[in-house]
Amino acid sequence: MEQPNLSYIKQLAGGDTAFEDKFITILKDEFPGEKKEYEKALQEKRLHDTALIVHKLKHKLNILGLEQGYGIAVDYEERLRRGNSDLSGAFREILETIEKYLKTI
Partner 1 sequence: MTCIIIDDEAAARAIVSQLCAKTPELDVIEEFSNAIDAIKFLNQQNIDLVFLDIHMPGFTGIDFVQTLKNPPMVVLTTSDTNFAIEAYEYEAIVDYLVKPITPERFAKSIQKVKNSLTAQPVQGADTASSGVGNELYINIDRRLIKLKFEDILFIEAKGDYIDVKTTKEDYRVHNTLKKIKEKLPAELFLQIHRSYIINFTKIIDIEDNSVLIEKNVIPISRSNRPELMRRLNLL
Query: Which positions touch partner 1 (CB under 8 A)?
Result: 8, 11-14, 16, 19, 22-23, 26-27, 29-30, 52, 55-56, 58-60, 62-63, 74
Report, in Å, the least distance between residue 21 CB and partner 1: 11
Are residues 10 and 20 in contact, defined by beta-carbon separation less than 8 angstroms?
Answer: yes
**Cβ pair 4, 64 in contact under 8 A:** yes
Q: Which is nearer to partner 1, 55 or 92 (CB)?
A: 55
CB of 17 to partner 1, least distance (A): 13
Residue 25 or 84 with smaller CB distance to partner 1? 25
**DSSP of 17-74, one letter per residue?**
HHHHHHHHHHHHHHHHHHHHHHHHHHHTT-HHHHHHHHHHHHHHHHHTT-HHHHHHHH
Minimal distance in Å, beta carbon 34 to partner 1? 8
